[in-house]
Structure 1
Amino acid sequence: MSEVLSRDASEVRIEPEGLDGLLGIPQGALGIVIFAHGSGSGRLSPRNNHVAAALRQAGLATFLLDLLTPEEEHDRRNVFDIDLLAGRLVLATRWLRQRQETSRLTASYFGASTGAAAALRAAAAEPDVAAVVSRGGRPDLALEVLPAVRAPTLLLVGSRDGPVIGMNERACDALQAEKRLVIVEGAGHLFEEPGTLDEVVRHATRWFLDHLHPSAERS
């Protein structure tokens, strides 16, 4: 999966914070999806790389970003500091708007595990975000800001991820924007079971394409 990514994405760094990312922009990109990874994961996550490669094939640019520096990751408190992670996601969104090659691309967020909470907190602060997709996420960690999220939000949860299903149901009830909760049959928390990650790709791709700016051409 990472081999696919390396052929059509480039290493970039957000300074002075020193945040490393992989930026992939297909020709005629319709928008850009920024990834917020879960605890213990980063821009080289094989599952998120797989999703990102599929999104690029569908005409969406992708930005897989390490929301923490290697030094910051040594302090486990930072890994679960949702406010810090959301702030870094907002920083990345604004950084992309300042780059010539990405300034016109409408941003969306894809969050996994605790990264989903960061994505939703960032979406509450960035009202121009087109859409949010959560994979096996913990949106309950952003429960108090969910009524302020305007971006249409898709919550994807595995049928074998029992406690997280309930967390997502509560989050779905709290969201006031367009929303949908999808239970992926046979999937656990990491969507490692055969075919389950492809279901994530299918649902996420359609959600992002359906909620881009109306002027965007859809495939």
Structure 2
Amino acid sequence: MAGEIVQIPLNGTSLDGELVIPDRAEGLVIFVHGSGSSRLSPRNNYVARVLQEAGMATFLFDLLTASEDQVYANRFDIPLLSQRLITVVHWVRGKNGVRDLPLGLFGASTGAAAALRATAELGETVDTVVSRGGRPDLAGEPLARVRAPVLLIVGGLDQVVIDLNQEAAKELAGESHLEIVPGATHLFEEEGKLERVAELASRWLKTHLAASF
């Protein structure tokens, strides 16, 4: 399934992204990568392909420019990353073929915090959020303003992150569900574990985006 390479204008520069729109797409999922990663993340790209096969459009993009990514602190600047995501959501909402589709966000690691913080500001623009091995605790106070349904997926061997997700779930204003994948570490690198993440995410997104279609 061919994707369209795009550039999102940003203060005299741009962010690179790839948009894939299957025939009769039922929703759009924007991926928000974690620190030190990019739109080329093999794990996010795998999940994106599964979602495309399930009839969802996907958009993977770089949160930072190449020069910004060289500054280590930028990778953990959640307010900056969430504002970048908000800029991208507004840009996508003006794009033919996806402007009217229900919108989900899929955040990994620190990207999950940015996705949740952005959702708190965007309100009903975002229909649902999925977090993979996320750090929702880093979203801070805005967690209490997230009303969209949230799926939190964590590896069963990632105990510290399980604890952080359990605490963050208590802060969320809307529906939330914590799914623990047995035998998986933080990156879900064990055999069959990333496939399980994709299955869980696909089921959740199809359900919650279809409800908004």
Q: TM-score, normalised by structure 2?
A: 0.96
Match of 1:134 in 2: 131
Q: Are the counterparts in 2 of residues 143 and 174 from structure 1 also a CA contact under 8 Å?
A: no
Deviation of 1:8 after TM superposition, in Å, equals 2.3
Match of 1:116 in 2: 112
Is there any run of 5+ residues in structure 2 with no aligned partner, and where?
A: none
Counterpart code for 1:11? I
Would you say 1:22 and 2:29 are equivalent positions? Answer: no
Cα deviations by residue, 1:136-157 (Å, 9 ceiling, x for unpaired) = 0000001311110011000000
Counterpart code for 2:202? T
Match of 2:90 in 1: 94
Q: Are the counterparts in 1 of residues 20 and 59 from structure 2 also a CA contact under 8 Å?
A: yes
* Distance 1:179-1:14 versus aligned 2 partners, 3 A rule: same
Match of 1:10 in 2: 4
Counterpart code for 1:139? P
Alpha-carbon distance in structure 1 between the residues aligned to 2:178 and 2:18: 29
Cα deviations by residue, 1:139-185 (Å, 9 ceiling, x for unpaired) = 00013111100110000000111111110010011112010001100
**1:33-72 aligned within 5 A:** 33-72=29-68
Alpha-carbon distance in structure 2 between the residues aligned to 1:100 and 1:53: 21
Alpha-carbon distance in structure 1 between the residues aligned to 2:199 and 2:182: 14
Number of residue equivalences: 210
Would you say 1:31 and 2:27 are equivalent positions? Answer: yes
Runs of 4 or more above 4 Å deviation: none
Would you say 1:157 and 2:151 are equivalent positions? Answer: no
Counterpart code for 1:150? R
Counterpart code for 1:166? D
Counterpart code for 2:179? V
Q: Are the counterparts in 2 of residues 93 and 107 from structure 1 also a CA contact under 8 Å?
A: no
Match of 1:202 in 2: 199
Match of 1:143 in 2: 140
Deviation of 1:215 after TM superposition, in Å, equals 5.8
Counterpart code for 1:148? R
State the Cα RMSD in Å: 1.1
Deviation of 1:117 after TM superposition, in Å, equals 0.1
Counterpart code for 1:68? L
Q: Are the counterparts in 2 of residues 110 and 134 from structure 1 also a CA contact under 8 Å?
A: yes
Deviation of 1:213 after TM superposition, in Å, equals 5.0
Q: Does 30-39 or 207-216 show the bigger shift?
A: 207-216
**SS of match in other structure, 1:134:** strand
